[in-house]
Every structure is written in C-alpha cells, then in structure tokens.
Structure 1
Amino acid sequence: MTSPTSPLLQQRWTHRLMRRFLGVMLPLFFKVYGRWKLVGAENVPETGAVLFAVNHSSNLDPLLGWAALYRYRILWGIAKEELFKPGLPKFLMESLRSIPVKRGVADRAMFRAALEVLGQGDTLGIFPEGTRTHDGKLNVAQPGFTLLAQKSKAILIPVALIGTYEMLPRGAKRLKRVPLTVVFGKPISPDTPREELGALVMSEIARLMTEAGFPTEPPLPNAPAPPVD
C-alpha cells in the first residue's frame, strides 16, 4: 500500500515490528490451543482488493481472522473505537492495522479510510453483523456493510469462523479449549443488488459453517439487529 492519506491509516516502524511478532505468536497460539483448521485458503486472491465478510460471535474473532490470513495477506480491519484506549491497547490495535469506528453514527472518516484501503488494492476484514451475536446464531447484515461492498467494487469473500463462540462467548472470563475452524468461501459478486447482498453473504456464511460440520441457519431477512454493545 502506498503512503495513506487518511490519518486513521498511519503506521510507524514500531507498528510493523509488533505486527511481525504478532504474526508469529497469534498463529502459534491458535494452532496449539485451538488446534485450528484452515479450509478454502485457495479462494484467497494473492493480489488485488479483497473485502472479507466474517461472522462475529466472540472477541477472539478479529485475532483469529487476522492470524489465519497472515501467511497469505496482511489484513486491515474495522474495530469499535472503545478498544483504542491510550497506551498499549491503542498501539496493539494499530499494529493489527485496525481502523476505529464510531458506532451508532455515520462515521464518514472510517468509511473513507476503508475505501482508501481497498482502493489501493489491499485487504479489509469486516463483520457484516456489526456486533457480536448474543446466542451464537447469525445476525442480519447491516446496511453499512453492503454500501462499502458496492462502493469499493472489491472482491468479496465470505469467511466462517467456527468455535470462537464456544471458546470465549460474551461475558466469559476464561478461554475454553475447543477446536477452531476458519473457512474461506468462493467470491461473491459485489454487483449483486444491494438489497440482496447482505442476505446472500450471511446465507453463504451459514452454508460454509454447515458444510464444515457446524449446522447453522441463516438469519431471517427481517430479523431485528442485535443491540450494539
């Protein structure tokens, strides 16, 4: 990626150094503790802009998704601004190339930064549901996701994370040792009509989870969005 114009994308050499460290330690942790399995890595394009649409059920999801892709592409992501507390938390989030988002409002700065990442041929991970599930089930995709997908025209790859809800659900203080699976699906056309795209992506994630041995139903089209926390 060339030198970014958005202040949300600025990186220092210390970020790059920490990223190399995390690029070793996070995959090692998930391999040893989570006995992870990666499926469909051949669907990850080696070059070009890619938007990864990932289900969200645990605070482990950003770390697992980032670690799973590290050997193929170094991922940018979007995370709630509350995680960017001054000091070490902010430094770690920036090292993971996370873009802060103000939730509950139209965050134009985040949206411009995300478009810049994809416009320069990089990769971006996003949780279409907008927040973690409360019960392990899939939620409906939010309008901001479909708008970004269509504005960017990036290759859209659905990704299913399996096992993170069981390992660290909402409110849990300790990790449970359960196997983890990451499934990369085949590309979905960003030219799909916007009113259909969100449901199509979530249905594809449900299909990937089911085929991986974790039967999952797609969310009902008119289901209410979960409360943001």
Structure 2
Amino acid sequence: MGPLSTKLFSFGQFLCRVFFRIFYRVELIGKENIPVDDGVLLCSNHIHNLDPPLVGCFLKRKTRFMAKAELFEAPILKTLLPKLGTFPIRRGMSDRQALRTGLKLLSDSELIGVFPEGTRSKTGTLGKGLTGVGFFALRSKAAVVPCAVIGTYKPFSKLKLVYGQPIDMTTLRNEKASAEQATEQIMASIQQLLDTHKTH
C-alpha cells in the first residue's frame, strides 16, 4: 500500500477501535500472539459483516483481507477496498489469481486475514473450512494464527476477540499433507478458542 492508502488504513483502524469499544465493549485476548514482522495467516470464524474491521482494527500491523469478488463491483467499494489493502477472491477460495496474490503477500511478510468458512455462519456455530486456507498454510512459511469472534453484536453488549497461539504446521508441511488436512487442523484450533472462551 502507498502512503495515502497507509494513512487511510490507519485512520480507519482508529475509527473502528472507537466504534467497537463504545458499542460492543470489546474484550481483547491474545494480541501478543500475533508475530510482529513475519508473514501471518490470520484465520477467524465469521458471524457478522463487521467481523473484518473488528478482527483487524486492534492490531498494529495492517491486515490484508480477502473479500468476495462481488463487493468489488459496487461503485464506492471497488475504489475503497483496494486502498484498504483488500483483494478479491471468487466464491469457494479456488481462485488461482487470488491464491497467487495471497502467497506473494505472505512471502513479503504481510498479514492476511481470512474467514475459512467462506461465508457468515447463520447459526453462530463454526462451519466447515474451505481448502484454500489449507493451501496458504502449507505453501507458505507464514505463521498460522487462529482467531475467534465470540458474541452477538447486540449494541452495548460484550464481544470477545481472541487471537490464539500460532499453530505448529511443521509436521503437516514436512509430510506434504493435503490442503484439506491443514484446513481441518486450523478449524479445530478455531473451535478450541470458541470452546475455551465462550461467554456463559
């Protein structure tokens, strides 16, 4: 991102932090688990349209999100999203150009945010992950960090945002495991965060 885009992103982060602190009383857990300089694949559950700004706004690093290609067809978003570092992917996470872009960003030590389910959960429970996220995890050397958004997004209620410890992908990478196997491990780690930190 250029200087203008960087300033726009930082300003957007600030506004989002204020918004979420006021309206959703966000409890932030595990921020120290995000590596400072290395490539990071940040994998979160997806329960609301506000998940992307929530997941990214509390981090000092810039988060490059993948977003469904349809959003880039909207008049305002097609200009705004690229300036915020977002890049498009077609449904199903099998878009080769998006996969190449993601791998390049990870090799350049960028932080990429993904929602492995590919769409929002209507029930709030974690769905099946798409294999594209496993492809990124296996084909890059990036740290793979699970993330959990816990709550209902009811105004003035409490939301938990949990960043887990990086997942050890060494064995799967050495054994040349399938993308599906890697995705299953990532989803299991997200589920563990949800189970451990769920609001009673």
TM-score (norm 2): 0.88
- 1: CA distance, partners of 2:192 / 2:37: 26
Aligned to 2:163: 184
**1:2-45 per-position Cα deviation (integer Å, ceiling 9, x unaligned):** xxxxxxxxx45442332122021011111111111110111111
Q: How many residue pairs end up in the alignment? A: 194
SS in 2 for 1:84: helix
The gaps in structure 2 that reach 5 residues or longer are: none
The gaps in structure 1 that reach 5 residues or longer are: 1-10, 168-174, 216-229
* Matching residue within 8, 19, 23 for 2:13: 23
- 1: CA distance, partners of 2:143 / 2:51: 21
**1:108-150 per-position Cα deviation (integer Å, ceiling 9, x unaligned):** 1111110110011111111111111121110111111111110
Aligned to 2:57: 67
- 2: CA distance, partners of 1:124 / 1:35: 25
**Counterpart residue identity of residue 166, structure 2:** P
**Counterpart residue identity of residue 187, structure 1:** P
**Counterpart residue identity of residue 139, structure 2:** K
- 1: CA distance, partners of 2:93 / 2:24: 36
Question: Does the Cα contact within 8 Å between 2:9 and 2:62 map onto a contact in 1?
Answer: no
- 2: CA distance, partners of 1:105 / 1:156: 17
**Counterpart residue identity of residue 44, structure 1:** I
Q: CA deviation at 1:107?
A: 1.3
Instruction: Map 1:1-229 to 2 at 5 A.
Output: 11-69=1-59, 71=60, 73-104=61-92, 106-163=94-151, 166-167=152-153, 176-191=155-170, 192=172, 193-194=177-178, 195-214=180-199
CA-based RMSD of the aligned residues comes to 1.9
Q: CA deviation at 1:201?
A: 1.7
Query: Identical aligned pairs, as a percentage?
Result: 32
In structure 2, do the counterparts of structure 1 residues 92 and 180 end up closer, same or farther at CA, with 3 Å as the change threshold? farther
